[in-house]
Structure 1
Amino acid sequence: MISPINLMHKTIAFMQRWPGLMAVLAFAGGVASYILVERKESLAQLIAVFLLLSWLWLLLDNWLRERIEQRFGIVLSPILVRFALQTVHQESLFFALPFFLAVTSWHHGQAAFTILIIFCALVSVVDPLYYKKLAPHRTLFVVFHAFALFVVLLIVLPVLMQLTTSQSMAAALGIAVLLSLPSLGAIMPGGRWWRVPFLLCLLTILSAGLWQLRSWVPPAAMRLNAITLSHEMDYEQRKPGDSISQVNSYDLQQQGLYSFTAVTVPRGLNEQIFHVWLHNGKEVDRIKLNITGVSSSGYRAWSHKLNFPANAEGKWQVEVVTESEQLIGLARFTVTVAAPAPQLQADF
């Protein structure tokens, strides 16, 4: 009979021969969970629970290894621990990737965040990069570790705890930074009175900097199904009229514009979003809307703007953002000069 330790070592050897297998499985799990989240299937929640448990095991690694050795006399090799750490990173990054690919606005700074996830996911798969370039550099490895945790928390918190996108963003940032504190402590020299205050200041500055860049983080739990700008709205059918991309200033002043959006969020989740109207890059209005999680068709909501400036000509856009300024999507339109009214000529 094969002992558990031998079985684990054989499993590690197999995975090392096929390093991309775990990444493929994690990515497939992310795609499946992304689809199932919209239908509130329990499998999506189970996947999220599994990821959180794997991170909990990782954080309690030293304590668990000591308890296992004391109780069962089994010594877990550093190779096993190192492999487990790499596996958790792969699971987290590849699991989260489908969520971010589906909601990223590629013409926005969000593209940089999603590309960073792709890069980190590839690093976690390529052993020469992970073990020879990343792992030996303690500071860089801690940042990589915290980033992977931050990314996966952005996915699982809305699903498991029904936190809004803004709440999930703040909680994920706080948890990732706080759980990195023990690892950061190993970087600092010991026995100095200023060590703890310095670390606290460092974490505060890091958190503040990341929060300022929060608009670059795609709202992974939300998806914009549709956005339409129109002069008309069918209130009974909850459908907009014909979409427009250009309007003259006279029609704009007389009729105004409806901004219609259909946003998908997990069932049971209540969100607050904003329609932000910008004229030539400057914000001129912000309209608050409340949405709730429904089926894949999305929660349909709209705002009707009638108050436009007298000199409304130029480039306009309507951004759909969360409370934490994370961009969900946008639409653009152009306002042209109104055609002069025809003059009547009298006959004498």
Structure 2
Amino acid sequence: MSFPVFSFPPIIQRLLPKLEPWLPVLAFASGAASFILVDRQAGLAKWIVIAVLAGWIWLLLENVLSKLFTRLTHREVPPVVGRLAVQWVHQESFFFVLPFFYFTTTWNSGQAVFTGLLAIAGLLSIIDPFYLGTLARRKWLLMMYHGLAVFALTLTSLPIIFEMTTGESYYAAIIAVATVSVLTLPGFIKSHPEWQRSHWMAATVALPLLLAIVWWGRYWVPPAGLWLEKSAITTQIYSAEKLPGNRVETVSAEDLHSEGLYAYAAIRAPLGLRETIYYVWLQEGEVIDRIPLAIEGGREEGYRSWTHKLAFPEDAAGEWEVQLLTEHGQMIGVLKFEVE
């Protein structure tokens, strides 16, 4: 049985085209607001994030809700509503997470590629010829686009809502991507009746392979809930103020062996979050030491921590760096110095 299509009141029909261009701006603003509120008004930040997640819940239940609407009102939901809703959810997701990843990205590393990919995906969501043309014609590309949005949003939202560590949220993000892929697979199959069994076998193998790549590539994914407020390599720490002395970029081997060096970092994290981070000392790319430290979130100036390394190799000359890593290998930042 077919029903007439539901029509919006004239005033809403006039407003929708005018509001659509502003949706990415509103999404970016809500993401920036949540980023600022993470450790100042944690409760409000959680509600903003929950509102964004509600869009994905609606998207996953779209068919069920549309049928329920038709049953109750005897009107069909206009096709344009579904199209606009999907596009809006993508815009809201990508532009919401961009402030988080922008500030947590270590830009002189491969993390810049991931954050750049998010920025490009957000930009493409507002370019209708690509979004309504290329994505609509290539369902496999739409599934990957879906997955990237879910992955980034899960990484950002779970530490805020549930005070999960970055490692726990990374596991959850992979599970979320797998779940969304499975839920969207029936529609994908329906749109490709011409595919042979070999195609579906390849697709079946591709999903776990893609998830494995996402897991092993976590070093290049910024930890959206952790970022550096201040960092330094120094020869002195003012313990009472918990502040570093003068920054050091070059040190002689003699001074290094006699006095050692401090690696200092003030790390911002969501209120209530407790996580172990690692100061990993590397000489010419080779790991020399790995020192764990526990941090707590919610401090406006960041959780100030440092390590004092005294034991260095006899031949310590060369390029050094101290990587700050989460327990599961995501990089928070990197400090570099040279030993002459």
Structure 2 length normalisation: TM-score?
0.91
Q: Does 1:286 align with 2:287?
A: no
Q: May I ask how many residue pairs the two structures share in their alignment?
A: 333
- Residues 12-38 of structure 1 show CA distances to partners (whole Å, capped at 9, x for unaligned) of 653434542000111111111110112
Q: How does 1:62-141 map to 2 (within 5 A)?
A: 62-141=63-142
Any conservation in 2 of the 1:230–1:240 contact (CA below 8 Å)?
Answer: yes
1:261–1:78 Cα change, 3 Å: same
User: Residue in 2 aligned with 1:341?
Assistant: none
- SS of equivalent to 1:180: helix
- SS of equivalent to 2:24: helix
- SS of equivalent to 1:221: coil
Any conservation in 2 of the 1:123–1:129 contact (CA below 8 Å)?
Answer: yes
User: Residue in 2 aligned with 1:47?
Assistant: 48
Any conservation in 1 of the 2:42–2:271 contact (CA below 8 Å)?
Answer: no
| Paired letter, 1:275 | Y
- Residues 238-263 of structure 1 show CA distances to partners (whole Å, capped at 9, x for unaligned) of 22222211111111111111111100
The separation in 2 between residues aligned to 1:36 and 1:12, in whole angstroms, is 35
1:69–1:162 Cα change, 3 Å: same
Match of 2:326 among 322, 328, 338: 322
Q: Does 1:219 align with 2:223?
A: yes
User: Residue in 2 aligned with 1:247?
Assistant: 251
Task: For structure 1, list consecutive stretches of 5 or more residues without a partner in the other structure.
Answer: 337-348
1:276 offset after TM fit, Å?
A: 0.8
How large is the Cα RMSD of the aligned pairs?
2.2
Q: Does 1:267 align with 2:279?
A: no
Any conservation in 2 of the 1:233–1:239 contact (CA below 8 Å)?
Answer: yes
User: Residue in 2 aligned with 1:163?
Assistant: 164
Aligned residues with identical type, % of pairs: 37
Task: For structure 2, list consecutive stretches of 5 or more residues without a partner in the other structure.
Answer: none
- Residues 211-264 of structure 1 show CA distances to partners (whole Å, capped at 9, x for unaligned) of 111111111111101111122223232222222111111111111111111000
| Paired letter, 2:128 | D
- Residues 87-144 of structure 1 show CA distances to partners (whole Å, capped at 9, x for unaligned) of 1111111111111111212211111111111111111111111001112211001110
Q: Does 1:256 align with 2:260?
A: yes
- SS of equivalent to 1:75: coil
User: Residue in 2 aligned with 1:340?
Assistant: none
Any conservation in 2 of the 1:223–1:264 contact (CA below 8 Å)?
Answer: yes
Any conservation in 2 of the 1:15–1:21 contact (CA below 8 Å)?
Answer: no
Q: How does 1:154-193 map to 2 (within 5 A)?
A: 154-188=155-189
1:312–1:171 Cα change, 3 Å: same
The separation in 2 between residues aligned to 1:74 and 1:147, in whole angstroms, is 34
Structure 1 length normalisation: TM-score?
0.89
Higher-Rg structure is 1
Any conservation in 2 of the 1:318–1:331 contact (CA below 8 Å)?
Answer: yes
